[in-house]
Every structure is written in structure tokens, then in C-alpha cells.
Structure 1
Amino acid sequence: MSADISGWRKPVRTITEDNDQTGSADANNVVTDTAETDETQLKSANGIDANGIERSSTIDAQAAKEHPEVADAVAKIKGLRQTIDNIDGAVIHLLAERFKATSQVGVLKAGAGFAPADYKREDYQIERLQRIAKDAGLDPNIAEMYREFVVTEAKKRHKRIADAGGDPGVLDVFA
């Protein structure tokens, strides 16, 4: 089932990035302003225009050279995005390590005849992650979404391990 989303996203201003980043689908775009954008839409703080359409911008260092008023922002965004990419890589590696450990827990649970779920542990994790999030200055709701994701996935894996008679399958694709 697919929906027609043509015209769904209409950029207010498009400034594309140099083609030095992977995944840049708009690498050849130039600065454009949409004719139907009014000043109210440009000032929309939440990124949604008056018609409920999400505004989008693609950043381009070359185009920014032609618009010095945004060149500083483009340079700062590029540096921050490199930091974000590095953090994302670290998070993915940490998630891989976490799921290797939870798979081992699943093997031990299956061997001992324990159920995949441990609600006492989940309650502890809720409190613990909420506290860590607050201490780190992170919205506790984000910590809860993370916890919900990893707990749900771990329980699914534990069930698969139990159903397979304690066989975890491949824990490490590099093993």
C-alpha cells in the first residue's frame, strides 16, 4: 500500500551540501525559494507551514558562498553533523554490544527455564534510565522510548532463543 506523497514536502529554502557526504540525494540543488511561501511560513518555529506541510532545507556549502548571511551557519552545521555522525556510529556499536550481552542472558534464561520477561528488572530499568536521563539533561521520554525499544527487542530475542532450545544463533557477525 503506497500513498501519493508528491508535493508533500515543499522546501522554503534549499541549500544543498557539497557532494562530500554519503547519502546526499540533493547534491546538485541550488538555493531556491518556493513562490507559495509567505513570511508567516518562513517564521514557523516548529518547521510546519500554515498548511501543515513540513518545511525542509538541504544544506550546501557552495550555495552558501553565494549567500554570505548563511555561510557561517552552514559551516557550523557541517561540523555538528560530523559530530552527530560520530555519535551515531558509537551508539550503533554500543547497541550491538548490548544485544550480544542480552542474547547471552537469553541463553542462560532458556537453560534455566526462565520466561523472556522479567518485570522486576524492567521496573528497575525504568527508574534507573529516568534518573540517568535527568542527570544527563535528556528528556526522560527519550530514555523511555530507548528502554522500550531495547527491552522489546531483547524479549523477542529471548523468546527465539528459548524456542530454539537455547541456541542463540549468531551473536557476532564477525565471529
Structure 2
Amino acid sequence: MEAPPELNALRSSIDNLDTALIHILAERFRCTREVGKLKARLQMPAADPGREERQTTRLRALAQAANFDPDFAEKFLAFIITEVIRHHDLAREEIGKV
């Protein structure tokens, strides 16, 4: 059975949004990799709990304003932060090898 045009249009929008999300995440991680390199050179810790808490609060407020689940937004940010810290640790290891 062929999908109705309305479903195809919605799916097309979802596909476009997924594409945008991937590109936005790629750019975000390019920036955080630079942060990781800088922190490594300055011998700063990979994690910044104060910044993470401020970002979580900010993201939850943005989610609420957008009528989006703030709990999901927080979980999503926590996942990203975990990956960012891993990248920062890798940058520290690379700086240490030089």
C-alpha cells in the first residue's frame, strides 16, 4: 500500500530536519574539539561541572519555552556532554604525546 501524500510530506520534513540535526551536531563537535585542544594546552580539566549545570538549566528553559520535554532535552544534553568530555580527554592524550 502506498503512503498517502500527507504522510510522505511529513516524512520528507522529518528527513530534512534529521539532515539539519546531523550538520548542527557536526559543527557543535568541531567547536568542542577546539575547546578540548585549548583546555589540554592550558592543562584545564576536561569536565566543567559549573558550565554543565548552567547549560542544563538553560536547555531545560529553552525546551519548556518550545513546548518540548525538558527531561528529554536534559538527557540529550547529558549524552552530548559525555561525548564531549571523552573528546577532551582524547585531546589531552594527544597533547601529552607531543
**TM-score with structure 2 setting the length:** 0.93
Residue 146 of structure 1, CA deviation: 1.4
- Give the aligned partner of residue 30 of structure 2: 100
Segments ≥4 residues shifted beyond 6 Å = none
1:161 aligns with 2:96: no
Equivalent positions of 1:1-175 (< 5 A) are: 15=1, 60-61=2-3, 74-165=4-95
144-153 or 82-91, which deviates more: 144-153
Which structure is richer in relative contact order (CA contacts within 8 A, separation 6 or more)?
Answer: 2
**TM-score with structure 1 setting the length:** 0.53
Q: 1:93 to 1:114 in 2, by over 3 A?
A: same
Residue 116 of structure 1, CA deviation: 0.6
Larger radius of gyration: 1
Residue 89 of structure 1, CA deviation: 0.2
Query: What SS class does the counterpart of residue 95 from structure 2 fall into?
Result: coil
CA RMSD of aligned residues (A): 1.4
Q: Is contact 1:107–1:161 with CA below 8 Å preserved after alignment?
A: yes
83-92 or 145-154, which deviates more: 145-154
More helix by share: 2
| Counterpart-to-counterpart distance in 1, 2:52 and 2:94 | 24
| Counterpart-to-counterpart distance in 2, 1:131 and 1:115 | 27
Residue 91 of structure 1, CA deviation: 0.4
| Counterpart-to-counterpart distance in 2, 1:121 and 1:162 | 19
| Counterpart-to-counterpart distance in 1, 2:92 and 2:23 | 25
Q: 1:126 to 1:94 in 2, by over 3 A?
A: same
Name the aligned partner's letter for residue 87 of structure 1: L
Residue 128 of structure 1, CA deviation: 0.2
